[in-house]
Amino acid sequence: MTPMTYEPTLASLNAHPVPQWYDDAKFGIFIHWGMWAIPAFAGSSGSIGEIFRDHFDKAVAMTPYTEWYENAIKVPGTPSAKFHAEMYGNMPYSDFRDPFLETIDQWDPDAWADQFARAGAKYVVLVTKHHDGFCLWPSDVKNPKRDNWYSRRDIVGELGEAVRARGMRYGLYYSGGIDWSFNPKPLRTLGEFISSAPRGKYPAYATAQVRELIERYRPSILWNDISWPTPLAPQLQLFADYYNEIDDGVVNDRWMPQSWKTALMRLPPVRRSFDRAVRKRMQSESASKGITPPKPPHFDFQTPEYATFSDIAQNKWEATRGMSHSFGFNRNDTDADYLSAEEIVHGFADAVSKNGNLLLNVGPRGDNGTIPKEQTTRLDAFGNWITRNSQGVYGTRPWTRAEGKAIADGETLDVRFTCTDTALYAHVLSATRPQQLTISDLPVTADTHINLLGHGPVQWQGNATSVTLTLPAKTDADPAWTLAIPHPAT
């Protein structure tokens, strides 16, 4: 089939389909590794939503994200500013470059890629440049603000080779809307944050770098963050050129272009009014909702952060989150600060049932470039589960409904549904397995053979209104288990 040629118009670009590989993949790994991993500190406890609710006037400087350390230490009174003064005195953030470059020299991309493959990931997204502006590849695009603000070693290229050698797709994150090497002004509120996209030479710089990443590494995913520093027209040209070069590539939703609305946000009265409105809304909404970025004119998939959707979404989406409250490695995190393997599996099943993928983050250490044990242990447990239940995950689509309930010994268990052309899959979100289980409204006939993935056929009785299954004793530590129910016509 001849690939479609795309024009730099919304009508043309919006005809770009989400490629099958991305819809089939379901699970990816996000990697946040940079200079912030040397101090590896964020003092705030609680989620990003809770911080914005409880500390709105300094929320951007008090986030639980260690990768925002450079901004946090500029705001007096924040936990990070106090920590930095005690540990490093007046040392500027840029001085973390040399110890980080020493760590890069001992980094092993194959060890990372092996870990991701064992976890069942089908794609990997690497942060190539975060908000501090430091690049993990030897860019030919000169940063006019900071000399040699890049890695001598080609982290982006070497990891791409290792990931692709193991059959995984490779995507690249780029912070287009924030770069503190161009705009170092301290940020406190959300209004200050989203209005701080650098101007001047930065839009041309960011565009040139992303074009360099596309040409040099041919990413399957362009994962931008915050916003995009150009107006819409040059952005659409970038998308058209990307799709015409990589026809099965995808772009995320964090590409809001510059416009009269973003220009207004640079006016202090408008920004203050915006912050008042957001603060009021944060007080009335659940802090557990996380962040759902606004939809830009063009995107292929949405990226709610530490958030999910309540039902099957029409647009393809990707839940993105760390295993703890931070993406970057945080020296303060204990095992109790991380999601359990059970919580990760349950969140994954919930996302997939609602037309989503899961992009689960790892935050490698800054002293040796390894992924912390607390994270690898959870990746291994997830990989064991998805290996036994892969049939009900990869290549599936949402069913007519995402959620259901099962009854066992008087207890109600949550169920999430996925399906293929040949079968319905019921993922029972429970680490225990009862002897008998009843589920309502399943498409069964007298000839239906129901299987428990990883075990085989199970006995059942009832009808489409109510099915009661007799289950084998549980011999594994899986945090959920999956029933395969063939469609009546197969």
pLDDT at 287 over 60: no
Mean pLDDT score, 334-359: 98
Mean pLDDT score, 337-359: 98
Instruction: Please state which of the ranges 96-105, 249-258, 432-441 shows the lowest mean pLDDT.
Output: 432-441
Q: Is residue 394 part of a domain?
A: no
Number of domains composing the chain: 2
Q: Could you tell me the CA-to-CA distances from 431 to 46, 389, 406 in Å, in that order?
A: 26, 14, 14
Instruction: Scan for tokens 């695009």, then name that residue.
Output: 141
Let me know whether 106 and 250 are in one domain.
yes
pLDDT at 218 over 80: yes
Let me know whether 189 and 262 are in one domain.
yes
Phi, psi of 239 (to 5 degrees): -60, -45
Mean pLDDT score, 69-96: 98
Let me know whether 408 and 380 are in one domain.
no
Q: Kindly report the number of other CB atoms within 10 A of residue 437's CB atom.
A: 24
Among 353, 388, 423, which residue terminates a domain?
388
Which tokens is 57 given?
């006037």
Q: Is residue 482 part of a domain?
A: yes
Strands 411-419 and 423-428: antiparallel
Q: Is residue 393 part of a domain?
A: no
Q: Is residue 267 part of a domain?
A: yes
Among 388, 412, 443, which residue terminates a domain?
388
Mean pLDDT score, 242-269: 96
We report the CATH number of the domain holding residue 195 as 3.20.20.80
Residues 6+ apart with CB under 8 A from 98: none
Nearest to 272 by CA among 1, 56, 19: 56
Let me know whether 339 and 411 are in one domain.
no
Strands 317-321 and 123-129: unpaired
Mean pLDDT score, 77-82: 96
For the ranges 41-45, 57-61, 285-289, the one whose mean pLDDT is highest: 57-61
* Torsion sign across C-alpha atoms 33, 35, 39, 45: negative
Mean pLDDT score, 161-189: 98
Q: Is residue 2 part of a domain?
A: no
pLDDT at 326 over 80: yes
What does the alpha-carbon distance between residue 223 and residue 251 come to, in Å, rounded to a whole number? 6
**Comparison of pLDDT for 230 and 43, the residue scoring more:** 230
Mean pLDDT score, 318-338: 96
Nearest to 170 by CA among 131, 206, 140, 137: 137
pLDDT digits 0-9 by tens, 379-389: 999 999 999 99
Let me know whether 255 and 231 are in one domain.
yes
High-pLDDT (> 70) share of the chain, %: 98
Instruction: Scan for tokens 């289980």, then name that residue.
Output: 437
**Comparison of pLDDT for 476 and 230, the residue scoring more:** 230
Let me know whether 77 and 119 are in one domain.
yes
Nearest to 416 by CA among 424, 404, 400: 404
Instruction: Please state which of the ranges 41-50, 51-60, 161-170, 301-310 shows the lowest mean pLDDT.
Output: 41-50
Let me know whether 197 and 244 are in one domain.
yes
Q: Is residue 7 part of a domain?
A: no
Let me know whether 206 and 300 are in one domain.
yes
Let me know whether 354 and 459 are in one domain.
no
Let me know whether 367 and 478 are in one domain.
no
Angle, nearest 10°, between helix axes 202-217 and 232-245?
A: 10
Mean pLDDT score, 266-277: 94
Mean pLDDT score, 324-330: 97
Q: Is residue 247 part of a domain?
A: yes
pLDDT score, position 490: 46
Among 388, 421, 454, which residue terminates a domain?
388
High-pLDDT (> 90) share of the chain, %: 89
Q: Is residue 323 part of a domain?
A: yes
| Entry pTM | 0.97
Let me know whether 416 and 379 are in one domain.
no
Domain range enclosing 282: 18-388
We report the CATH number of the domain holding residue 415 as 2.60.40.1180
Let me know whether 367 and 454 are in one domain.
no
pLDDT score, position 53: 86
pLDDT at 352 over 80: yes
